[in-house]
Structure 1
Amino acid sequence: MALITFAGYPASGKSARVAELTAQLAPLLPPHLSLRVVSDDSLGIPPTVYDDSRAEKPARAALFTAIQRLMAQDTVLIVDAPNYIKGFRYQIYCAAREMKLRVCTVYVVATPDLCRQWNASRSDGRAYASETLENLLVRFEEPSSMVRWDSPLFTVLWTEESVPAAEIAQAILTGSVKPPNSGTLAAAKAPSDALHILEQTSTALISAIMDAQAATQGSGGLVTLPLSTSLKVQMKLPTRNITLSQLQRLKRQFVTVHKKAITLGTTEKGAVNWAEQSVADKFVSYLEENLKP
């Protein structure tokens, strides 16, 4: 249904604001929607992971995996984490867009001095080391309403009494849902026998072309090429002799291009058909285009 991403300085009061929003948002949601919160704390990720970039990377990956697992059409998911890297916020945005969820960002603002003060006063074992805190303050990448992955953006200052729950509810319940694009669609994989069909069909087509050329004695024109008992294709041969080496070179080029779609997948849904007839038709079109005088 929706994804709400919190961002802000470490020890800026994000978790307190999340608790406020959760309490105020719950009665505003329809009964069929559940409200979930995922955080470093809920995943058992200690603040010490931010002491070392080598430890931080797998911790961030664990958070992203949990976000993906909890996103659903019947869930409003709140992400309570530093989220200080704009690239990570973009990654979350892409995952939400793939799931066709509404999104918004809540930017919790506090001065660096207040963050230092609040961090030093923590007694729950979740305080950051002073050096780590300073490092995160410097590295923080501020959300912006001008970029799509942070928009709509709600900014909550440390002086404000509560979060704008009504406005956030409106954004996640009635805001536009952006459709997935080529950057967020999962690649559609080719069937396991696609490479075999590609090689077998193109090889059979070359043999049929050589036979047809011998039968027409190089006069060219439209010919029917039998590839099997049930598969035939038509091709317009040029009025000149085509050598086997030419055809094999064009076959290698054709196969190389289509191998990429087989191994990497494609986001062009419905545009790729790995049936023998489709492969044969594509190869014929490729040959006709490249054998023009």
Structure 2
Amino acid sequence: MPLIVLCGYPLSGKTTFARKLESICEQKKVACFSKSDGDLNEPRDLLYRDSKAEKTTRARLRTEIERVLDKESLVICDSLNYIKGYRYELFCLARSLNTQYALVFCISSREQVMQRNYLLKQENGDYYSDEVLRGLMERFEPPLSENRWERPPFVVDENTDVDRECEQIISFCKDAKVALRAVIATKKLPVTANNILEQAEKVTQRIETQIFERCEPYIPLQLAESSHVFQSSRKVTLAELRKIRRSFMRVIQKNLSSYHSEREIADSFVEYLNTQLQQARH
């Protein structure tokens, strides 16, 4: 069963929708787990008070999801998920298990969000400070249909028939035809435990050089070594690329058995670059 990722402004109805989806899953005897910011046992404002806290929050939530995600249960990620790079990480997580992935975009106006936050404050509930709330709304990156990991998004607003939408999501999740497939690389050279680090050094150095020489802000860059596209909103320095490459090599060293070809290494490195540069913006 798949990973269902909710996204939207803070207080846009994500948790209400998640609870309804859980309820319908229970009626249909579908195993379901919901993981949310609430599971981290800290006030909302502290979880998103600055960029460091936000990164920690995303990392902790991903760990919670990884712990329960499998092919048997439906897992709901009930959080802001406002950064497209993080949503892509979750997409890759589902893909690694050959399971389905669906995005639910909960739409609400800024005025509605501010009003709900005001009511929470009046009730001494778990509310956001005005500064944090405005910052989160300004940084929200809405799903784009051009991004294959965000297509087809399910859209929920105040006019949505929630029961019907939940039924459609569950049907989508049960459809084996839409299950993602883990990347099976086209092998150039076989990579073994003995030479994997050597091959990784070579392929990541080539990618690093191509990006430094050819990358232009906002223009997708197709690399010869990878089936993935590199894209950045700014010119990336060689020092940044080398720092990220060193970090990736440490990841490789801990997961030698996960790679079987240069293409797999290249695909993982490009994904890693995109994610790290995306997170550096926040």
- Which TM-score band applies after superposition, normalised by the shorter structure? 0.5 to 0.7
Cross-structure match for 1:209? none
More strand by share: 1
Cross-structure match for 2:172? 171
1:53 is aligned to 2:60: no
Cross-structure match for 1:88? 86
Cross-structure match for 1:136? 136
Q: For 1:5, what is the secondary structure of its paired residue? A: strand
Q: How do 1:263-282 and structure 2 match up within 5 A?
A: 265=256, 267-268=259-260
Unaligned runs of 5+ in 1: 199-259, 272-293
Q: How do 1:1-12 and structure 2 match up within 5 A?
A: 1-12=1-12
Cross-structure match for 2:109? 111
1:182 is displaced (CA, Å) by 5.8
1:189 is displaced (CA, Å) by 8.5
Asked whether the equivalents of residues 99 and 181 of structure 2 are also in contact (C-alpha less than 8 Å), the reply is no
One-letter identity of the residue aligned with 1:176? V
Once residues 191 and 158 of structure 2 are traced to their aligned partners in structure 1, the CA distance between those partners, rounded to angstroms, is 49
Cross-structure match for 2:67? 69
- Deviation per CA, 1:191-250: give whole Å up to 9, x if none: 4xx37xx9xxxxxxxxxxxxxxxxxxxxxxxxxxxxxxxxxxxxxxxxxxxxxxxxxxxx
Once residues 171 and 146 of structure 1 are traced to their aligned partners in structure 2, the CA distance between those partners, rounded to angstroms, is 20
Cross-structure match for 1:38? 35
1:158 is displaced (CA, Å) by 2.1
More helix by share: 2
- Deviation per CA, 1:90-119: give whole Å up to 9, x if none: 000001100111010111101000000011
Computed over aligned residues only, the root mean square deviation of the Cα atoms, in angstroms, reads 2.9
- Deviation per CA, 1:138-186: give whole Å up to 9, x if none: 1000012332212231101123352501211111001411211169xxx
One-letter identity of the residue aligned with 2:83? I
Q: For 1:38, what is the secondary structure of its paired residue? A: strand
Q: For 2:48, what is the secondary structure of its paired residue? A: helix
Once residues 96 and 5 of structure 2 are traced to their aligned partners in structure 1, the CA distance between those partners, rounded to angstroms, is 16
Q: For 1:6, what is the secondary structure of its paired residue? A: strand
Q: 1:62 to 1:189 in 2, by over 3 A?
A: farther
Higher Cα radius of gyration: 1
Q: How do 1:193-272 and structure 2 match up within 5 A?
A: 194=194, 265=256, 267-268=259-260
Asked whether the equivalents of residues 182 and 267 of structure 1 are also in contact (C-alpha less than 8 Å), the reply is no
Q: For 1:37, what is the secondary structure of its paired residue? A: strand
- Deviation per CA, 1:27-69: give whole Å up to 9, x if none: 33xx4x4111000102214212211111111111001111111
Q: For 1:51, what is the secondary structure of its paired residue? A: coil
Cross-structure match for 2:238? none
Q: For 1:126, what is the secondary structure of its paired residue? A: coil
1:71 is displaced (CA, Å) by 0.3
Q: For 1:96, what is the secondary structure of its paired residue? A: helix
Asked whether the equivalents of residues 34 and 76 of structure 2 are also in contact (C-alpha less than 8 Å), the reply is yes
Once residues 97 and 137 of structure 2 are traced to their aligned partners in structure 1, the CA distance between those partners, rounded to angstroms, is 32
TM-score w.r.t. the length of structure 2 is 0.64
Asked whether the equivalents of residues 103 and 152 of structure 1 are also in contact (C-alpha less than 8 Å), the reply is no
Once residues 102 and 114 of structure 1 are traced to their aligned partners in structure 2, the CA distance between those partners, rounded to angstroms, is 32
